[in-house]
Structure formats: C-alpha cells, structure tokens
Amino acid sequence: MQKKTCFFIGHREAPDSILPTLIDEVERHITEYGVNSFVVGHYGQFDALAGQAVIETKKRHPEVSLFMLLPYQNSGRPTVPPEGFDNTFYPFGMERVPPRAAIPRANQYMVDHSDFLIAYVWHTGSNSRKILEAAMNRQERGLIRVTNLAPQGTGDFRGSYHL
C-alpha cells in the first residue's frame, strides 16, 4: 500500500465546535483519498483537536498511523508520544535550525513532504497563514491537496476549499 500523508495546520485558538467537522474530514481523507498517515503538532487548540479527531477515527480504521511532529531535538532523550499517538516525527535537518525558527520550519517541511493538508486558518500575518499560502502554491502545481476548514469569507482563500 502506498503511504499517503496528511498534515494539519491551524491557529492556536480554535473552537471545540469544529471537532465533528474534523472527524468527518479525517474519515473522508482515509476512505476517499487513501490517507494512512497523519501528522499533527502539539502547540495549540487546533493541534489538540486534530489529534483527537484522528484518535477517534482510528477506532474505525486501526491501520491508520498518527505521529506527533517534533520541531525541537530532545537532547538525546526519547520522547514518549501521548496516548493515542503511534510515534513522534522529527524532520531531517532540523538539528541545524535555530529554536525560534523551528516550528515554522518543521511545518514547512511537512507541507513539502505531505500529500494532503487539513487547515483551520483565517488570521492574516500568522505563521499558519504563511504555511497555508505555501501549501496553496504547491496545490496549484498538483503537489498537495488543501482543505481549509475555516469559515469562508475569513480570508482570501475562497474557492480553495474542498468541502
């Protein structure tokens, strides 16, 4: 089976009310697109909700893997993934990235190495927005498929939604 990876990007603040939509979207990515690997960060509410959505969906699809993205090296100590996660993922080459640039660089690495992106982005001028814009550029070249769950009309990504 070909490995298909989906990454999540979103703002630290996200309403709990999007969880059912996230679960539906994860289910759709598994059943319609063949995604079998999900990667999520761990620095905000959207990341927490995305992880929860995949963990919930894994009950019906135990073959799916969930990885926690690690932007920082752990000084040789192994990082134990939270309950429900299969493992952690530390992108190649991150050991040379300054700590203040680690999260955006790790996120960009994932966009560059993922087949799908599920986003919840509406703020302008945020790192999440920059990552979404980079993903949209990759989508125009057929390199990734982007789904932004933020309400339409909250940014200039109208027409790019795949809901």
Per DSSP, the three-state class of 101 is: helix
Domains identified in the chain, total number: 1
- pTM assigned to the model: 0.89
Q: Tell me the residue range of the domain where 90 lies.
A: 5-148
| 126 lies in some domain | yes
Q: 62 vs 76, which has greater pLDDT?
A: 62
pLDDT of residue 156: 41
Residue 1: pLDDT band with limits 50, 70, 90: low
| 160 lies in some domain | no
**63-118 pLDDT tens trace:** 999 999 999 877 667 788 899 999 999 999 898 899 899 999 999 999 999 999 99
Residue 25 pLDDT > 90: yes
Long-range Cβ pairs for the range 60-66 (8 Å, 24+): 60/27, 61/27, 61/30, 63/36, 64/30, 64/35, 64/36, 64/37, 64/38, 65/36, 65/37, 65/38, 66/38, 66/39, 66/40
| 133 lies in some domain | yes
- When pLDDT is averaged across residues 58-62 and rounded to a whole number, the result is 97
Q: What is the CATH number of the domain that holds 70?
A: 3.40.50.450
Sheet (strand 5-10) strand order: 87-89, 65-69, 37-40, 5-10, 116-120, 145-148
Residue 27: pLDDT band with limits 50, 70, 90: very high
